[in-house]
């Protein structure tokens, strides 16, 4: 019988001492429990409206008074108010996203950040991460700032616009 290199390799493999048994890995620590109280304050609600009645009403008043006595001041105030309302809406909602494909074409807005964070938390098996908690806090601060802006716009600034309108005996814009 001729000893070939292949046969020598097989003999060496069969006579080699068995490798030491691998130590069993320590059982992984259980994932931290999710504390649902951290999200208890979250509620779903539509933060639109999309180009709702107040903007349209202000634009209508501006258009009706264009070219009349004192209409220039009303147009200037109304145009500025509409621009600030549009900016607020743009900060809250991305209006140009129309389907699942156009999401990548336009920057996300506050409502989309909340939706994404909620889905990431829901999909997690190990509870919320520190990063998710931090992001939720940052979104909460941003939302509070936007609410203050909305309160100012729909409060004092709309009231000032309505005073201009009232001085010209035109029905005012009413917040319902």
Q: Mean pLDDT of all residues in the chain?
A: 74
More confident residue, 72 or 11: 72
Tell me which residue of 131, 139, 175 sits closest to 157, measured CA to CA.
175
How would residue 86 be classed by pLDDT, with cut points 50, 70 and 90?
Answer: confident
Residue 174, exposed/middle/buried by CB under 10 A (0-12, 13-18, 19+)? exposed
Give the whole-angstrom CA distance, residue 32 versus residue 49.
39
pLDDT confidence of residue 8: 46
- Three-state secondary structure call for residue 7: helix
pLDDT tier at 47 (50, 70, 90 boundaries)?
very low
pLDDT category, 99, cuts 50, 70, 90? confident
Residues 6+ apart with CB under 8 A from 120: 132
Asked whether the predicted pLDDT for residue 1 surpasses 70, the reply is no
Distances (CA, A) of 102 to 35, 107, 115: 35, 10, 16
For residue 163, is the peptide bond before it cis, meaning its omega torsion is within 30 degrees of 0? no
pLDDT at 141: 93
Each residue's pLDDT tens digit, 118-148: 888 888 888 888 898 899 999 999 999 999 9
Residue 58, pLDDT > 80, answer no
Whether residue 14 has pLDDT greater than 70: no
């Amino acid at each position: 019988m001729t000893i070939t290199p292949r046969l020598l390799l097989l003999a060496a493999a069969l006579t080699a001492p068995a490798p030491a048994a691998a130590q069993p890995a320590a059982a992984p620590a259980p994932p931290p429990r999710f504390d649902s109280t951290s999200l208890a304050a979250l509620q779903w609600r539509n933060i639109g409206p999309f180009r709702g009645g107040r903007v349209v009403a202000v634009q209508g008043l501006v258009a009706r008074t264009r070219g009349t006595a004192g209409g220039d001041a009303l147009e200037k105030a109304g145009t500025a108010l509409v621009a600030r309302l549009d900016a607020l809406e743009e900060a809250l909602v991305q209006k140009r996203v129309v389907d699942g494909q156009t999401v990548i074409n336009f920057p996300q807005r506050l409502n989309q950040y909340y939706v994404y964070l909620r889905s990431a938390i829901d999909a997690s098996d190990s509870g919320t991460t520190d990063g998710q908690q931090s992001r939720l806090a940052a979104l909460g601060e941003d939302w509070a700032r936007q609410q203050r802006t909305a309160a100012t716009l729909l409060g004092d600034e709309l009231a000032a616009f309505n005073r201009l309108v009232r001085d010209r005996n035109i029905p005012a814009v009413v917040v319902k």
